[in-house]
A = this chain, B = another copy of it.
């Protein structure tokens, strides 16, 4: 369900060399420029990144969203315009980088993993989102067009929300908030899977169930690996002393931070749940084995003595008095029945059936 990409491709390259690390892109890079203030909202797809600069030419707040990070010229051009640190640029194009936050004097760089559950393909979609927050602009870089961000676009368009009035830091917060909210959807999905497996756990412990439990564990570990640095980042975002984030936005960020911690708590609970499932599964397999063996033992214990008796009277000794008895055959049957009934009573007492 999840595919992690190789991170070895950059080994040996000088730091700061721009190399796109990630899956080959399928779509061309699109750049969307959104300008907004309390009363106005303008959105257009632009061809050349240079149209956006200088970034503070108007009094409107700007949001530049770059979809696709494999076009290195665009990234480099933005880097030059805003005087970004070379490692930041390298980080943007490397989609494997660990989430991080960097606090520069005139901008703040945050990179996140966006996890979304793709209902259609039944897959977890992992995508990197890089955010540069400046005085009155936000630049976002996403690997491919994720409809996650559309939510925010619509909110800005609709016009009556705080998002239009407040500064750019509120937009950055909104982005984080939406990313974090998507983790909850994933958790719900995993919860469904867990509940689904629980039904089969004791009743029907097949090897498919086993494989599903294992899969689930893997996905949970993957999720945890993504959330862990997220918590760290948003945590340090709450503590960072920067003029770029206003006091009032900090409060909202703390709310997001609480959400991330709630996600971590839930992931940990799920992890322990799945461990218990594995133990329960193993026990339940053992119970099944016990049942199988009990059945075998009941059959064997009843018929093996009986077969022995028939064997005795199937012997060809010339002198076997019982064989001559008139009721020998019937007596044998009665004897055998008694044995069977005795065994059955014994096993019944043992509660074997």
Q: Spell out A's residues near B (CB within 8 Å).
A: 4, 6-8, 10-12, 14-16, 85, 87, 91, 97-98, 100, 151, 155, 161-163, 173-174, 177-178, 181-182, 184-185, 187-188, 191, 198, 201-202, 205-207, 210-211, 213-214, 217-218, 221-222, 224-225, 228-229, 251-252, 255, 258-259, 261-262, 265-266, 269, 272-273, 276-290, 292-297, 299-301, 303-308, 310-320, 322-329, 332
Minimum CB distance partner of A313 in chain B: B315
Q: Name A's interface SS.
A: helix
Chosen A-B contacts, 8 in total, with CB atoms closer than 8 Å, are: A202-B207, A202-B210, A214-B276, A296-B297, A299-B301, A303-B304, A314-B315, A319-B329
Cα-based distance from A198 to B205 in the complex (angstroms): 19
Cβ of A185: which chain B residues have Cβ within 8 Å of it?
A: 8, 11
Number of identical protomers:
5
Set of chain B residues within 8 Å of A299, measured between Cβ atoms: 297, 300-301, 304-305
Cα distance A293–B300 in the bound complex, in angstroms: 11
**Pairwise interchain contact B177-A15, C-beta atoms closer than 8 A:** yes
CB atoms of B282 and A286 under 8 A apart: yes
A286 contacts B289, C-beta separation under 8 Å = yes
Given contact pairs A217-B273, A286-B286, enumerate 16 new A-B contacts (beta carbons under 8 Å). A7-B187, A11-B178, A15-B162, A15-B252, A202-B207, A207-B287, A214-B276, A214-B277, A221-B269, A285-B290, A293-B293, A311-B311, A317-B323, A317-B329, A318-B323, A318-B324
Nearest-CB residue, chain B, relative to A312 = B310
